[in-house]
């Protein structure tokens, strides 16, 4: 373990490194995951259902695990999350039946619930403890850029592994998962080494104690969001965006398969395509401080989301690879810029550090609910009709979410947490 950082810039460097390492396994898997599941015989409807196992676990655990991170520490929760990540990737590599695949996605759900919020909250709280005037948006933007580059590089490596087919007795679509498994172990080591936090000892550090507080945590999260027009609008965007953009993750690989006429060909192209897309996303994230210098974040986010919806419409009607590539890269670029703006708006709306992870988890939980419902609904639509119809519906829903950013920006608010939450943390701290 290294020594604790002594400046907000040092905290930011560690945050950026950890963000990159944490998302590299995801990048490796992106080009092959959907294609591998379809190769193993799942329909779009079945794929939506088994992937819903991930969303369901996130919904069940997001707030309790967010509270766990607030109460017990961000580092131990993130290390536990990484353990579930390793198990999920390992099972996905070998699962061949729908129920085993569902278990693997459930493990991914536990991972997503545990990892949602602790790293960002650690960065914000640690940086502001050192320097209360720290520019957290710049750190979030730089981490967003690093995340995008990491996913892009991982996707490029994943496609290269499929093309090289280094293990004759292993399905080429499985090889990137083996690389992701190795990188998840590296992720565990990086968190252990770099993520230093100083938290007071807890008198009761059991998960059961945290679970008992879950109803109060849920009530607090709902009350906090409902008390703020801005937060209500932001979590509304997160739900609709998750519902709509699941179409990109689930259906764009199959759309490219249709265009090119083969899963292996699609997987080979998806790596460079994702790499280019995430590099554009990194550029979008890096431009956020410049954009927000001249305009308020809300209107900028609305324009970005409408542009993203139009790009998804472009994927839906694409009949050749060039149109598909342009639309796909545009979606990634808009997403890279949107994420730090959205996260910055959320962080600025919360002034109580003890509840920060819980509020961020509530936002993430809402997004996962959208992904889960969108995956099932749009998957069933794609099975019953066409991929194009499902993609068009996704584009319409994304566009419908854009005005909520304007509502969030109409009356900026900072929301404190009800007094009962402060008491809850004092009791269990």
- DSSP character string of 177-231: HHHHHHHHHHHHHHHHHH-----PPPS---HHHHHHTHHHHHHHHHHHHHT-HHH
286/143 Cα distance (integer angstroms): 9
Work out the pLDDT band at 210, boundaries 50, 70, 90: low
pLDDT at 224 over 90: no
The percentage of the chain sitting over the pLDDT mark of 90, rounded to a whole number, equals: 23
Q: Pick the residue with more confidence: 352 or 74? A: 74
Model pLDDT for residues 141-172, shown as the tens digit of each residue: 888 878 878 888 888 899 889 888 888 888 88
Phi, psi of 30 (to 5 degrees): -50, -45
Question: Residue 238: its pLDDT value, please?
Answer: 92
Question: Residue 352: its pLDDT value, please?
Answer: 64
pTM: 0.70
Question: Residue 206: its pLDDT value, please?
Answer: 58
pLDDT at 414 over 60: no
Do the domain assignments include residue 2? no
Do the domain assignments include residue 1? no
119's enclosing H/E stretch is helix 118-130
150/336 Cα distance (integer angstroms): 12
Work out the pLDDT band at 186, boundaries 50, 70, 90: very high
Q: Where residue 420 sits, what CATH number does that domain have?
A: 1.20.1250.20
Range 170-201 burial, b when 16+ CB lie within 10 A, else e? eebbbbbbbbbbebbeebbebbeebbeeeeee
91's enclosing H/E stretch is helix 74-94
pLDDT at 182 over 70: yes
Distances from the Cα of 285 to the Cα of 104, 146, 149, 272, 293, angstroms: 31, 9, 11, 20, 14
The mean per-residue pLDDT over the stretch 55-70 comes to 71
242/238 Cα distance (integer angstroms): 6
* Tokens describing residue 136: 């957290």
Q: What is the dihedral of CA 155, 377, 66, 134, to 10 degrees?
A: 60
Work out the pLDDT band at 351, boundaries 50, 70, 90: low
Model pLDDT for residues 299-344, shown as the tens digit of each residue: 888 999 999 999 999 999 988 889 999 999 889 888 888 888 888 8
382/427 Cα distance (integer angstroms): 50
Do the domain assignments include residue 3? no
- Number of domain units in the chain: 1
Residue 174 has what DSSP assignment? T
- Contact (CB, 8 A) for 176 and 29: yes
Q: Pick the residue with more confidence: 213 or 12? A: 12
Please give the residue range of the domain that contains residue 368: 8-428
Question: Residue 151: its pLDDT value, please?
Answer: 85
Residue 261 has what DSSP assignment? T
- Secondary structure class of 350 (helix, strand, coil): strand
Do the domain assignments include residue 135? yes
């Amino acid at each position: 373990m290294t020594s604790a950082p002594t400046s907000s810039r040092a905290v930011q460097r560690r945050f950026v490194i950890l963000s990159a390492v944490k998302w590299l396994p995801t990048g490796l898997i992106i080009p092959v995951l959907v294609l591998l599941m379809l190769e193993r015989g799942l329909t779009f409807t079945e794929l939506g259902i088994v992937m819903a196992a991930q969303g369901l676990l996130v919904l069940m655990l997001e707030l309790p695990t967010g509270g766990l991170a607030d109460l017990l520490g961000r580092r131990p929760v993130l290390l536990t999350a990484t353990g579930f990540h390793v198990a999920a990737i390992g099972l996905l590599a070998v699962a061949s039946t729908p129920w085993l695949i569902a278990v693997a996605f459930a493990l991914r759900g536990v991972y997503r619930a545990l990892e949602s919020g602790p790293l960002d909250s650690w960065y914000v709280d640690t940086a502001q403890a050192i320097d209360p005037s720290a520019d957290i948006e710049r750190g979030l933007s730089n981490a967003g850029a690093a995340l995008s580059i990491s996913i892009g590089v991982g996707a490029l490596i994943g496609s290269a592994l499929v093309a090289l087919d280094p293990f004759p007795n292993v399905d080429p679509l499985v090889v990137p998962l083996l690389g992701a498994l190795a990188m998840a172990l590296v992720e565990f080591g990086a968190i252990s080494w770099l993520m230093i936090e100083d938290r007071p000892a807890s008198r009761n550090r059991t998960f059961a104690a945290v679970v008992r507080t879950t109803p109060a945590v849920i009530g607090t999260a709902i009350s906090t969001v409902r008390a703020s027009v801005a937060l209500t609008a932001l979590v509304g965007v997160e739900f609709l965006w998750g519902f709509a953009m699941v179409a990109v993750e689930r259906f764009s690989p199959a759309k490219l398969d249709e265009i090119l006429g083969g899963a292996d060909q699609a997987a080979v192209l998806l790596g460079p395509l994702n790499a280019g897309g995430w590099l554009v996303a990194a550029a979008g994230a890096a431009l956020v401080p410049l954009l927000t210098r001249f305009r308020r974040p809300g209107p900028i986010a609305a324009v970005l989301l409408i542009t993203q919806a139009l790009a998804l419409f472009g994927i839906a009607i694409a009949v050749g690879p060039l149109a598909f590539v342009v639309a796909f890269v545009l979606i990634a670029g808009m997403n890279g810029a949107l994420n730090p703006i959205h996260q910055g708006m959320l962080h600025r709306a919360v002034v109580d550090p003890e509840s920060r992870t819980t509020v961020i988890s509530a936002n993430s939980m809402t997004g996962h609910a959208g992904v889960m419902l969108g995956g099932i609904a749009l998957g069933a639509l794609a099975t019953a009709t066409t991929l194009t119809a499902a993609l068009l519906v996704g584009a319409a829903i994304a566009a419908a979410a854009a005005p909520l950013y304007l509502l969030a920006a109409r009356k900026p608010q900072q929301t404190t947490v009800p007094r009962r939450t402060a008491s809850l943390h004092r009791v269990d701290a």
